[in-house]
Amino acid sequence: MAKPLIMLGAGGHAAVLAEILLQQDRELIAVVSPEPIKESSPLFGVTQIISDEEFLTIYSPQDVELVNGVGSIPKNNIRSQLLTFFTEKGYRFARVISPKAILSNFLTLEEGVQIMPGAIIQVNTVVGKNSIINTGAIVEHDCTIGINNHIAPGVTLSGGVITGSDVHVGTGANIIQGIHIGQAAVVGAGTTISRNVPAGQVLIPARSRVIS
Amino acid sequence: MAKPLIMLGAGGHAAVLAEILLQQDRELIAVVSPEPIKESSPLFGVTQIISDEEFLTIYSPQDVELVNGVGSIPKNNIRSQLLTFFTEKGYRFARVISPKAILSNFLTLEEGVQIMPGAIIQVNTVVGKNSIINTGAIVEHDCTIGINNHIAPGVTLSGGVITGSDVHVGTGANIIQGIHIGQAAVVGAGTTISRNVPAGQVLIPARSRVIS
Amino acid sequence: MAKPLIMLGAGGHAAVLAEILLQQDRELIAVVSPEPIKESSPLFGVTQIISDEEFLTIYSPQDVELVNGVGSIPKNNIRSQLLTFFTEKGYRFARVISPKAILSNFLTLEEGVQIMPGAIIQVNTVVGKNSIINTGAIVEHDCTIGINNHIAPGVTLSGGVITGSDVHVGTGANIIQGIHIGQAAVVGAGTTISRNVPAGQVLIPARSRVIS
């Protein structure tokens, strides 16, 4: 039977996740956040735990599963640190998959994967642990997405794209078929990628033009 | 009870709106347009009124609600002028929200807002009066869209984007998180925005390259 | 009554098509491919025919309809050659239209058209023979797409775009309203088009910038 869930974080990404969980009638019993929860958030009214330390004194890995509610920003690794910290203590991370995503029946979605509304993932794709396929992103057939990736809203990955761990593909970026993106690379918002990207490289689009 | 609707305009944008209204079995009793209605349009066969003046002699603000069927083009303000003209005379504009859009339950959608098929709007976003979220556009959590905006097809707005009034974000443009777009700015089709845009500024992408 | 279907090809594009056909309970009786079918493919287990020549000795045009499972790559015309070759022998190509696409009721979709999951096509648009509207692509109202086109994943075509035959619009490209794209032109992935494109022209975006 599914264990009750604990949300780590209470910002915008956590709010989107919480709304999916509500739609699915999943049991979200607490949120861990030091800051007050906004009244406008789906998390408002959920029992609040102030710190990771307090959380650890209340719930054991046998009692609950975690939801990683921390969003992903390039060059900031709080999200992946949470995965490591709690995994070492024996906790498991639940997958959160929007019923409004369009998913092939031939996918591998690893632990803690988050698939947001309107995302589309085609046949024979693998999404690695703790990765986010964000709102309306398209991941074509035969892709392999590494762990701790953020495929941001509106991204399009063509068929056969392979990414290393800790890759960020920013809002609305496009990658053509068969490209490899190296570990911890950052494909900036709106960038089009048509060659392989080495590990750690950061790319952004050409400068736009101000015409008046 | 919902009042019967009158469509202002009979072009492509009005046709898309009319198809949504038909799907929802809403009562569309007339279309105001000086030009003949194309046989291929969902508006074909609806009672035609030739001018705004003729319309005003037939229907009072108590009888009907209006649908703003005029599309939005940068630097052309017929659409917002219609809002002002008819609002001053006491008419109200109906919202048109496609059942094929994906909408959070935590939104504020003001009078006359139009949400087209496949659009996605996430938690805690506000869309201002008379604004269009067009086909397949993505608006992430915590955005505030001003009045008379056109968020064109295929656009992606990341979390926390704020726009002034009369902003145009063109086809397929991308805006990263937390950006402010000033009043009457034009983000040209395909532009990626990663800094705030002052009021009235017009931006377009870098020139593409002809390679053969 | 619908005839049983034969898939030509067994790569990634064919796999996506096969999954749509499975969802629709359509009768797919064989796949033509010289290479072994991957176990991870929805085509695994379907009767395999090794060559077009073998196929021609088994099934007549009265018995079956074909599905063009060969994907479309710029400047490679195997896909359109298959259409010509089998059409001259009297075979017909089935349309494959994902139930997860969002389609106007006012469309003309010619023989062999393929509409992938999450694609959106608005009112009064025509899609020519053998053309693909790929995953999540947006085609606005009043477009006319020629034959043998590939509108790749994540593309956005604004209203009234007209394309010639054999046009490729690459992943995530954007075209503004009313543009004409000439025969056999290639709009590279991520390119934004705001002027007409002559026949045969190949365009790509401005070079991206490596910032670290």
Instruction: Count CB neighbours of C29 within 10 A.
Output: 15
User: Which chain B residues are Cβ-neighbours of C192 within 8 angstroms?
Assistant: 171-172, 188-191, 205, 208
Write out the H or E segment, with its range, that includes residue A53. Answer: helix A52-58
Instruction: Count CB neighbours of B107 within 10 A.
Output: 18
In the 8-state DSSP scheme, what is residue C197?
Answer: B
B54-71: string of b/e by CB count within 10 Å (b at 16+)? ebeeebeeeebbbbbbbb
Evaluate the CA torsion angle C32, C33, C39, C43 in order and state its sign: negative
From C196's Cα to the closest Cα of chain B, the distance in A is 13
Calpha distance B144→B108 (Å, rounded): 9
Q: Do A106 and C41 touch (CB under 8 A)?
A: yes
Calpha distance C69→C8 (Å, rounded): 5
Q: Which fold has domain C101-200?
A: UDP N-Acetylglucosamine Acyltransferase; domain 1 (2.160.10)
Query: What's the angle, vertex CA A107, arms to CA A104 and CA A108, rounded to 5?
Result: 160
Interface of A with B in 55-114 (CB under 8 A): 71, 100
Q: Do A19 and B123 touch (CB under 8 A)?
A: yes
Which among A140, A192, A207 has CB closest to C190?
Answer: A192
User: Which chain A residues are Cβ-neighbours of B201 within 8 angstroms?
Assistant: 210, 212
Interface of A with B in 42-61 (CB under 8 A): 42
Calpha distance B100→C121 (Å, rounded): 12
Residues of CATH 2.160.10.10 domain(s) within chain C?
A: 101-200
pLDDT at residue B76 in the model: 82
Question: B75, B148 in Cβ contact below 8 A?
Answer: no
**How many alpha carbons lie under 13 Å from residue B121 in its C-beta half-sphere?**
30
pLDDT at residue A74 in the model: 84
Residues of CATH 3.40.50.20 domain(s) within chain C?
A: 5-94
The model carries a pTM of: 0.98
Question: A203, A188 in Cβ contact below 8 A?
Answer: yes
In a mutational test of the A interface, the residue from C16, C37, C102 whose CB has the highest number of chain A CBs within 10 Å is C16
Segment B118-170, tens digit of pLDDT: 999 999 999 999 999 999 999 999 999 999 999 999 999 999 999 999 999 99
Token representation of residue A162 = 């392979």
Segment C19-48, tens digit of pLDDT: 999 999 999 999 999 999 999 899 999 999
Q: Do C192 and B212 touch (CB under 8 A)?
A: no
Strands A202-204 and C209-210: antiparallel
Segment B11-69, tens digit of pLDDT: 999 999 999 999 999 999 999 999 999 998 999 999 999 999 999 999 999 999 999 99
Segment C77-100, tens digit of pLDDT: 999 999 999 999 999 999 999 999
What does pLDDT average to in each consecutive run of 10 residues of chain A (212 residues)?
Answer: 94 97 96 94 96 96 97 88 97 98 98 98 98 98 98 98 98 98 98 98 98 93
Which long-range contacts (C-beta less than 8 Å, at least 24 apart) are formed by C71-79?
A: C71/A159, C71/C9, C71/C11, C71/C12, C71/C13, C71/C132, C71/C150, C72/C13, C72/C132, C72/C148, C72/C150, C72/C168, C73/C168, C74/C168, C74/C170, C74/C186, C74/C202, C75/C186, C77/C148, C77/C166, C79/C130, C79/C148
Token representation of residue B18 = 């009319």
Which among B124, B192, B207 has CB closest to A189?
Answer: B192
From A128's Cα to the closest Cα of chain C, the distance in A is 17
Question: C176, B189 in Cβ contact below 8 A?
Answer: yes
Q: pLDDT grade, residue C114 (50/70/90)? A: very high
From B185's Cα to the closest Cα of chain A, the distance in A is 10
pLDDT at residue C72 in the model: 87
Catalytic-role residue among C13, C141, C168, C180:
C141
Whether residue C150 is annotated as binding a ligand: the answer is: yes
From A70's Cα to the closest Cα of chain C, the distance in A is 25
Instruction: Count CB neighbours of B201 within 10 A.
Output: 16
Which among A122, A160, A204 has CB closest to C16?
Answer: A122
- From C106, which residue of chain B is nearest by alpha-carbon distance? B40
Return the CATH architecture of domain A5-94: 3-Layer(aba) Sandwich (3.40)
Q: What is the mean pLDDT of chain C?
A: 97
C122 at the B interface (CB within 8 A)?
yes
In a mutational test of the C interface, the residue from A108, A158, A207 whose CB has the highest number of chain C CBs within 10 Å is A158
Could you confirm whether B168 is annotated as catalytic? no
Calpha distance B148→B152 (Å, rounded): 12
Q: pLDDT grade, residue C73 (50/70/90)? A: confident
Segment C52-70, tens digit of pLDDT: 999 999 999 999 999 999 9
Segment C139-161, tens digit of pLDDT: 999 999 999 999 999 999 999 99
A4 at the B interface (CB within 8 A)?
no
Phi, psi for residue B18 in degrees, rounded to 5: -60, -40
Strand arrangement of the beta sheet that strand C138-139 belongs to: C102-103, C120-121, C138-139, C156-157, C174-175, C192-193
DSSP string, A1-35: -PPPEEEE--SHHHHHHHHHHHHTT--EEEEE-SS
- From B123, which residue of chain A is nearest by alpha-carbon distance? A16
In a mutational test of the B interface, the residue from C98, C121, C174 whose CB has the highest number of chain B CBs within 10 Å is C174
Question: A207, C210 in Cβ contact below 8 A?
Answer: no
Which among B13, B117, B208 has CB closest to C192?
Answer: B208
The answer, yes or no, to whether residue C1 has pLDDT greater than 80, is no
The CA-to-CA distance between both ends of chain B, in Å, stands at 60
B40 at the C interface (CB within 8 A)?
yes
pLDDT at residue A143 in the model: 98
In three-state secondary structure terms, C78 is helix
What ipTM did this prediction achieve?
A: 0.97
Instruction: Count CB neighbours of C189 within 10 A.
Output: 27
pLDDT at residue A73 in the model: 83
Instruction: Count CB neighbours of C187 within 10 A.
Output: 29
pLDDT at residue A60 in the model: 97
Cα A64 to its chain centre, rounded Å, is: 20
Interface of C with A in 169-208 (CB under 8 A): 170-172, 188-191, 204-208
pLDDT at residue C75 in the model: 78
Query: What's the angle, vertex CA C16, arms to CA C10 and CA C17, rounded to 5?
Result: 80
Q: How far is CA B63 from CA B29, B32, B89, B93, B207, in A?
A: 11, 16, 13, 12, 51
From A9's Cα to the closest Cα of chain C, the distance in A is 30
Evaluate the CA torsion angle A41, A120, B159, A146 in order and state its sign: positive
Task: Kindly state the greatest CA–CA separation across chain B.
Answer: 61
In three-state secondary structure terms, A143 is coil
Amino acid at B116: M
- Please give the torsion angle defined by the CA atoms of residues C30, C33, C35 and C38, in that order, rounded to the nearest 10 degrees: -50
